[in-house]
Chain A
Amino acid sequence: MASLELRNVVKRYKSQTVLDNLSLSVADGETLVLFGPSGAGKTVLLRLVAGVIDPDEGKIFIGGEDMTDLDAEFRGVGMAFQNFALFPHMTAFDNIATPLQAKRSSQNAMKAGVESVAKLLKIGHVLSHKPRALSNGQKQRTALARALVGSPPVLLLDDPLRNVDAKLRFEMRLELPRLLADRGATVVYVTQDYKEAMALGDRIAVMSQGVIMQLGTPEQIYREPANIEIARLFGDPTINLLDIKPSRDAKGIYVGLSNVQVHLTGAYDATVGRDCVIGLRPEALRFVDEGTPAAIPVTIEAETPLNEKIVTLVRTVRGREILVSRPAGTPGQTEGSAHIAVDGKSALLFDRASGDRIGAKNVVNLHSGEAA
């Protein structure tokens, strides 16, 4: 088994820098998810590790060994591609067997190896098929089997669930962690789906334009995003972002939401009078009765259920739109006017100019203010 480390890696294409002095280390047995929009450099990073492209600067270590100048076939990594990259002229069996072939395994060992991994991935019955006779789900599993079969210490998975339908994606998402844990491999997993990132990653590296914007556990990324961009990328429905300007009164720092003063606790002294953005997760908002302290009056625009949640679009008296989500089956208003309250657990404050999150404390505590 092996750890993985990238040290000051730079990759340029023509004049464009796709990876900008990037350093990253993945612990032995860890699953690191690279998350980001297309063009962020995730796939390039994987290919550098695999050794199919070379960095312009920097070093790559696998298991502590410098692999920078080693060709792909000597690095001993396994990789699954987004478009599967199956060999169209070979059967599923031969596809999966290619890593064993390279190791000059005996026929028997090869057969045993392929069949056991095929059984694990439930494709034992299609091993004699050529890729074009496989369904998308089977192709994806074949590609995964090919990556796993040689028990490589480092596994690179390039958005492997991208091209399968929602049901299969969900199934595989639940299946993968155990599969990976059983192998004990160090995994780098690329995805554009935040749910996949949170479900599979021990840590997530959020990439944008060739740099890592934030690296942390799913918990940290979701609850303490480094900036607005990251806050918007994680969560469905998306986080509510409202322009505010914190003020100070006798009781401390507060923000005004629809004429209601919501007091903040935390090291926000420096934010007074500054242009800020407050981020409120839809699930951190709830409907309350009129008269509840700090209840914000709203009118309900529409209710749109979403996977066992009810998402409600409401409009404040000042015309701002806010999304509120609650578990399906829990009571809530469906039309007319209503009141919402902020659940103090996950309000986030960002600097409007830079977009960076403010506050040394991880979680902002809001306590009830009084209606103005």
Chain B
Amino acid sequence: MSQSALSISGVDKFYGPIDRGVHAVQNLTMEIARGEIVALLGSSGCGKTSTLRMIAGFEEVSRGTISVAGRKVHTLPPVKRNVAMAFEGYSLYPPLTVRENMAFALKAARLPKSQVDAKVASIAKLLEIEDILERYPSSISGGQQQRASLGRALIREADLHLLDEPMGQLEPQLRAVLRGRIKHFIKERGLTAILVTHDQTEANALADRIAVMEGGVLQQFDTPDMLKQRPANLFTGTFVGEPPMNVFEAYVGTAADKINLRLPDGLSLDYDKDAFSGSVRDELLKRQRVVIGIRPYAVRRSKDGVPATVSANQWLGDQTHIAADFAGGSLVLVEHDRTRLELGAPINISIDPKNLHVFDQSSGMAISHGMELA
């Protein structure tokens, strides 16, 4: 079952001469099991698209190997890799109708017409494009083109399905349902999918595991929950999570049996030494300065918390976002109820050590996460 669907080993990508050109992907190693949905997440220029194109075979691998379903493919042309792909720019064949676009690969594989028709019909229903099957790409909207392109990729049987920004242009009203349906479809058929996206909501919604990339380097490869609970470094910590993590620089101090984390302008968070596990406490005490992070939904209002004033109170229908200023900084908290607070109103906020992320100030590497606390 856990046979590897994709194995990337020590892959480098240089644009220009090897070792001297632009180092777009740096020593990437990843193992993806059959049936997994994996997202490559990062901002533009992080190397995610180069990686996808190397897997598909549109880009040469400068160094390292790529295997699909146990077969080394990095020297093969795209057509021999048994990989299906949905392109970011849709790349639908303009002279063909949506139906013909979707059926193209199946016909090429000499599938009987009745089977082709049945498959097109079921995918079309899934993506709600039944009524545009006979239309040409130029006469349908961007969202419909994206769905057609997605359909053309999903309809194929392949060892790997590569989806490049598959849902960016989808009509917002359809997005949630389509995400659910597509995830169900992929899981039900046991397909292996890799999607490239800059949109973390999309990655979170669809992927079993997310590979966060930045500057050509894989920062962390983990489940969405683990990325949020145990970010490996400050980059993933602040990149993943919406609204983003609140981050502060802090001085580490000790007083009696307390450890205090003092923000540059006064505010001090005091915790019992025993609140931290031994190794984390040691790591903490080795340093004078650290960066601390707290997720917006982990900030609580409580009577004995730090005094702050409300600078924004925004209700979005199912969540309330509150921004608060306190001595030396400001932070954001999220509540799931409708909270009504006046601008400038005093509140007290508390940061539970259980929810605190601590990072090294210079390297940005994580020192501790709430769950490692004693």
Residues in chain A within 8 A of chain B (CB atoms): 165-167, 170, 173-175, 177-178, 181, 194-195, 198-200, 218-219, 222, 232-238, 281-283, 301-309, 311-313, 321, 323, 325, 327-328
Contact = CB atoms under 8 A, between A and B. Distances in A.
Given A174-B312, A199-B314, A236 B176 contact: yes
Interface of B: 43, 172-177, 179-181, 183-184, 187, 199, 201, 204-206, 224, 242-244, 297, 311-312, 314-319, 321, 323, 332, 334, 336, 343
Given A198-B317, A199-B321, A308-B297, A302 B183 contact: yes
A124 B167 CA distance: 38
Given A173-B314, A218-B315, 9 more contacts: A198-B316, A200-B314, A218-B317, A232-B173, A233-B173, A236-B172, A237-B176, A238-B176, A302-B179
Nearest to B297: A308
Given A170-B242, A238-B173, A199 B316 contact: yes
Contacts of B181: 301-302, 313, 321
Nearest to B199: A166
Contacts of A235: 317-318
A198 B320 CA distance: 10
A200 B242 CA distance: 19
A330 to B, nearest CB: 9
A180 B175 CA distance: 33
A310 to B, nearest CB: 10
Given A313-B180, A323-B176, A323-B180, A283 B318 contact: yes
8 closest cross-chain pairs (CB), A and B: A313-B180, A237-B176, A199-B314, A304-B205, A302-B183, A302-B184, A301-B184, A283-B318
A305 B224 contact: yes
A199 B315 CA distance: 6
A101 to B, nearest CB: 32
Contacts, number: 120
A181 B343 contact: yes
B318 A306 contact: no
Nearest to B313: A177
A281 B180 CA distance: 16
Given A170-B243, A325-B318, A308 B334 contact: yes
B318 A304 contact: no
A237 B177 CA distance: 8
A307 B343 contact: no
A273 B173 CA distance: 29
A234 B318 CA distance: 11
Contact of A313 (B184, B243, B311): B184
A65 B315 CA distance: 35
Nearest to A198: B316
B315 A198 contact: yes
A295 B321 CA distance: 32
Given A237-B176, A237-B177, A301-B180, A309 B343 contact: no
Contacts of A313: 176-177, 179-181, 183-184
A306 B176 contact: yes
A332 to B, nearest CB: 14
Given A177-B312, A198-B316, A301-B184, A238 B172 contact: yes
Given A236-B172, A238-B172, A238-B177, A305 B204 contact: yes
Contacts of A166: 199, 242
Contacts of B204: 304-307
A234 B242 CA distance: 19
Contacts of B319: 307-309
Given A198-B317, A307-B201, A167 B334 contact: no
A232 B242 CA distance: 23
Given A174-B311, A321-B177, A323-B180, A311 B205 contact: yes
B314 A198 contact: yes
Contacts of A323: 176-177, 180
B16 to A, nearest CB: 26
B314 A174 contact: yes
A174 B332 contact: yes
A49 B64 CA distance: 61
A325 B319 CA distance: 12
Contacts of B314: 173-174, 177, 198-200
A325 B336 CA distance: 11
Contacts of A181: 343
A193 to B, nearest CB: 9
Contacts of B297: 308, 328
Contacts of A312: 180
B312 A178 contact: yes
Nearest to B317: A222
A281 B183 CA distance: 21
Nearest to A239: B173
B242 A307 contact: yes
